[in-house]
Structure 1
Amino acid sequence: VYNLTQDFFRNGTPVDAETQNSVGVFTRHVVRKRIKADQDESAATRLKLAMLQQYLKVESCESSSHSMDEVSLSEFGEWTEIPGAHHIIPSGFMKIVDILAREIPESVIQLNKPVKCIHWNQVVRKEIERVADHNSDHPQDDSYPVFVECEDCEFIPADHIIVTASLGVLKKNHDTMFHPSLPEDKLSAIQNLGISTTDKIFLEFEEPFWSPECNSIQFVWEDEAQSKTLTYPEELWFKKICGFDVLYPPERYGYVLSGWICGEEALIMEKSDDETVAETCTYLLRKFTGGSLGQEWGRRWLIELHLRWLVQR
């Protein structure tokens, strides 16, 4: 089914009205049709449909969307994975940045320098130059078409500027980040492109309760088999957690599980305190491992659990 969703973009397959140009709608329609054709027993059918819902939660986290119903079917296949092996950098990804920065003189890199506004239209250049006269370090030259206004009131002239702010930042601040406003086509792209909140939950334990061959613990809720939406009331936000992956090797990470949650439920989770999230995750793990953890383990986890959130917007 995943391969079918790729065909619309890669092969130019037309999207019919029934799918509503939605990955979620299309996926549920195709899978449910095939499951019914299998003529399995009702229990097996129910489990397969519930697994479909869990798959859509995983894809929502991958796409950083609240629901796959909001993801365009006609464009879904545009995403491709860069070929090659996956490597773990022992000292972290910042090592790559350090290597790239070696060739750049330290004097031209300014850190902790928040930008207030980018003045990019030459019509306002003279006004900016007048305000920026006090910046003796930067000679005023008519050849500079752009000025960067910093929070400390400094104006930095430039020939070109590359803005790498995230889509979430642009959605929130585009009206104040640029003077004058960006062209309509760019504003339309910022407003119409979608991105939601995706959070990772890291749970660290003194000892593993999972077996050495276990790679992940996935949460499949059978009562969601026929659900048409994966949006939950606030008190059930935890049902949006699709599962926990085991981080390997333990020699580097310790005994750590990494969980994913996205969309509106992720925002609800962020409002909860660490203890509440820890208790909820412990409940889920105990429920889906058949209660084999035992009461003693559960109590120890609540005391010894270290919870860290990585919020990506």
Structure 2
Amino acid sequence: MLALSTFYPDNLYKQICEVTVLSRNINRRQFIKSVLLTSGAVALASKVGVKNAHALGNVSVIVVGAGIAGLGAAHMLRKHGAKVTVLEAKDHTGGRLLTDWSMGAPFEVGAGWIHGPSSDNPSKQLADAVNAQYVVTDDENAVYFDLDGYEYDDDEVERIVDAWEGVLDHIDRTYEVNDHRSLLQAIKDYRPAYLEDPGIMWAFSAFTEFSKGGSIEKLSAPLFNWDEAFDGADVVVTSGYDEILKPLKEGLDIKLSHVVTSIDYSADEGVSITTDQGTFEADYCICTVPLGVLKANKISFEPELPGDYRQSIENLGFGSVTKLALKFEEPFWDIETQYFGITTEPKGRWNYWLSYRTFSDENILLGLSVGDYALKADQMSDAEMVEDALAVLRTVWEDDVTKPIDVLATHWSTDPYTLGAYSFPRPGNRKSDFDDLGEPVADRLFLAGEHTIFDYAGTTHGAYMTGLRAAEYIIDEEG
């Protein structure tokens, strides 16, 4: 097993961002190449960790949230000698990274894929460190069906994908970054007939709304596709995605079921954090709660966060993706096919399905609702959700669809400690609305999480990188 110190150089985040900027200047649509290796971060990390093991011996930090951002920050600070306490509202660690094994195969309640699993991807590095097992999900191994349940032929699939890609290319070529149009408006302006084409609308939903966590009505046309990605075909972690968190948690003081209600940073030095189980004081606070919690003002800040922070929190998009795992006694679908795309109405309704039989022995279909329909699905009971999803499956497999023997479902937008899945850029947003949220407040309060980094918003590696960034600010301040 690799030493975990390999992943915690003091200047990791700065080096990643410098290489990212260079990459975008070359071609912002290309995947980043050799981010960590180019910076030399991996080679230097273990030496830095040993040298600074006690540099923060007199420093105390409260980390709010035990997701990958919070755990990454806490682990790095503890390695440097700080006294760290992690406060988590839920009764488990992981936040939006949690694996459920009750069906006999990993159901990822939150993050489900490592996106761009190259050796440069920090999440992939963490997964490699725990000897994780992977299976590549092959986007080409897919069958698509129309509204009536008939399979699209190859020519029709090509037409749909070409139309989808054509809109993306048109936006890239012609839109300025400050254009306030939504993606829906961009489609309407470019090819209005596309809005009446069920197949093309399916592509924008199943591909784009799923990827970004928001509906095309709410996505910024110039910004939704401006972010960065690591190289490589996406993988699922068949040994359980949340295993990557175990080394990060080791030795940490994590207090579960502690709901933070206020963060007071009004004193000249230090912070005071109030929970439903008492008050905690420290020199610094790193707040990694999801954007939805900030939007709902679940935590009060004293003094209020600066106006530009509050404006960004209000303006950024925060959507949902609803997952439904259905386990059957026997498969009624082609077990060699990995993905099934089903054109549905309304848009976003259980329109993409992943077959577990392509990487496990369990007869599980994982259905996805995305865009605005995910918000509707989250409001359903599990029983209502199952009936809704089975109705979609029956348009294709008719009476062959049997009653599931086990069910698991997510409801991210109604979870009081998340209130959504991940962030996205809305019309009128700027990249800085994300990135500036990660800047220190009064040099002792820091926000972190996937919503504080534009280039990697909505990803585990993005969230993790922001945790390291916040920790690095403290290390630099005390250094």
Which of 240, 252, 264 is the equivalent residue of 1:119?
Answer: 264
Change (3 A) 1:77 1:283: closer
Kindly state the Cα deviation for residue 87 of structure 1 after the two structures are TM-superposed. 4.4
- Per residue, is there more helix in 1 or in 2? 1
Change (3 A) 1:216 1:75: same
Change (3 A) 1:31 1:213: farther
Superposition pairs of residues 178-193 of structure 1, within 5 angstroms: 178-193=301-316
* Alignment-derived partner of residue 170 in structure 1: 294
Kindly state the Cα deviation for residue 184 of structure 1 after the two structures are TM-superposed. 0.3
Structure 1, unaligned runs of 5 or more: 36-45, 124-143, 225-229, 232-238
Contact in 2 for aligned 1:8/1:15 (Cα 8 Å): no
**Deviation digits for residues 68-125 of structure 1 (CA, Å, limit 9, x no counterpart):** 02111121232222224544434312221111233xx34x3333332221111226xx
Contact in 1 for aligned 2:264/2:273 (Cα 8 Å): yes
Change (3 A) 1:90 1:285: closer
> For this pair of structures, how many residues does the alignment match?
249
In the alignment, the residues of structure 1 paired with residue 246 and residue 341 of structure 2 have an alpha-carbon distance, to the nearest angstrom, of 37
* Alignment-derived partner of residue 236 in structure 1: none
Contact in 2 for aligned 1:201/1:259 (Cα 8 Å): yes
**Deviation digits for residues 230-274 of structure 1 (CA, Å, limit 9, x no counterpart):** 67xxxxxxx72223221244535x111111113443343334333
Kindly state the Cα deviation for residue 191 of structure 1 after the two structures are TM-superposed. 0.4
Which of 241, 247, 253 is the equivalent residue of 1:93?
Answer: 241
In the alignment, the residues of structure 2 paired with residue 13 and residue 263 of structure 1 have an alpha-carbon distance, to the nearest angstrom, of 23
Superposition pairs of residues 200-279 of structure 1, within 5 angstroms: 200-221=323-344, 240-251=349-360, 254-279=362-387
Change (3 A) 1:265 1:151: same
* Alignment-derived partner of residue 306 in structure 1: 406
**Deviation digits for residues 19-58 of structure 1 (CA, Å, limit 9, x no counterpart):** x62222223544557x8xxxxxxxxxx8xx2211111222
* Alignment-derived partner of residue 282 in structure 1: 390
In the alignment, the residues of structure 1 paired with residue 359 and residue 235 of structure 2 have an alpha-carbon distance, to the nearest angstrom, of 16
Kindly state the Cα deviation for residue 151 of structure 1 after the two structures are TM-superposed. 1.8
Amino acid at match of 2:340: I
In the alignment, the residues of structure 2 paired with residue 278 and residue 90 of structure 1 have an alpha-carbon distance, to the nearest angstrom, of 25
Contact in 2 for aligned 1:118/1:179 (Cα 8 Å): yes
**Deviation digits for residues 206-225 of structure 1 (CA, Å, limit 9, x no counterpart):** 1111113322222225xx7x
In the alignment, the residues of structure 1 paired with residue 384 and residue 238 of structure 2 have an alpha-carbon distance, to the nearest angstrom, of 33
In the alignment, the residues of structure 2 paired with residue 119 and residue 14 of structure 1 have an alpha-carbon distance, to the nearest angstrom, of 40
* Alignment-derived partner of residue 477 in structure 2: none
Kindly state the Cα deviation for residue 167 of structure 1 after the two structures are TM-superposed. 0.9
* Higher Cα radius of gyration: 1
What SS does the corresponding residue of 1:279 show, helix, strand or coil? helix
In the alignment, the residues of structure 2 paired with residue 261 and residue 285 of structure 1 have an alpha-carbon distance, to the nearest angstrom, of 13
In the alignment, the residues of structure 2 paired with residue 248 and residue 72 of structure 1 have an alpha-carbon distance, to the nearest angstrom, of 36
Contact in 2 for aligned 1:28/1:52 (Cα 8 Å): no
In the alignment, the residues of structure 2 paired with residue 273 and residue 25 of structure 1 have an alpha-carbon distance, to the nearest angstrom, of 33
Structure 2, unaligned runs of 5 or more: 1-163, 413-419, 421-479
* Alignment-derived partner of residue 25 in structure 1: 185
**Deviation digits for residues 121-143 of structure 1 (CA, Å, limit 9, x no counterpart):** 226xxxxxxxxxxxxxxxxxxxx
Amino acid at match of 2:263: I
Q: Does 1:80 align with 2:188?
A: no
Change (3 A) 1:195 1:94: same
Amino acid at match of 1:150: T
* Alignment-derived partner of residue 40 in structure 1: none
In the alignment, the residues of structure 2 paired with residue 305 and residue 88 of structure 1 have an alpha-carbon distance, to the nearest angstrom, of 24
Change (3 A) 1:215 1:87: closer
Superposition pairs of residues 127-146 of structure 1, within 5 angstroms: 144-146=269-271
Amino acid at match of 1:220: T
Which of 147, 168, 184 is the equivalent residue of 1:5?
Answer: 168
Amino acid at match of 1:75: L
Task: Tell me the TM-score normalized by structure 1.
Answer: 0.68
Change (3 A) 1:95 1:114: same
Amino acid at match of 2:270: P
Change (3 A) 1:152 1:279: closer
What SS does the corresponding residue of 1:170 show, helix, strand or coil? helix
**Deviation digits for residues 156-183 of structure 1 (CA, Å, limit 9, x no counterpart):** 222x222111111110125x43112110
* Alignment-derived partner of residue 213 in structure 2: 64
Contact in 1 for aligned 2:210/2:370 (Cα 8 Å): yes
What SS does the corresponding residue of 2:295 show, helix, strand or coil? helix
Change (3 A) 1:161 1:97: same
Contact in 1 for aligned 2:213/2:370 (Cα 8 Å): yes
In the alignment, the residues of structure 2 paired with residue 215 and residue 81 of structure 1 have an alpha-carbon distance, to the nearest angstrom, of 23
Q: Does 1:154 align with 2:279?
A: yes
In the alignment, the residues of structure 2 paired with residue 119 and residue 147 of structure 1 have an alpha-carbon distance, to the nearest angstrom, of 5
Contact in 2 for aligned 1:5/1:76 (Cα 8 Å): no
* Alignment-derived partner of residue 198 in structure 1: 321
Change (3 A) 1:311 1:280: closer
Contact in 1 for aligned 2:353/2:366 (Cα 8 Å): yes
- Higher-RCO chain (CA-CA 8 Å, sequence separation at least 6): 2
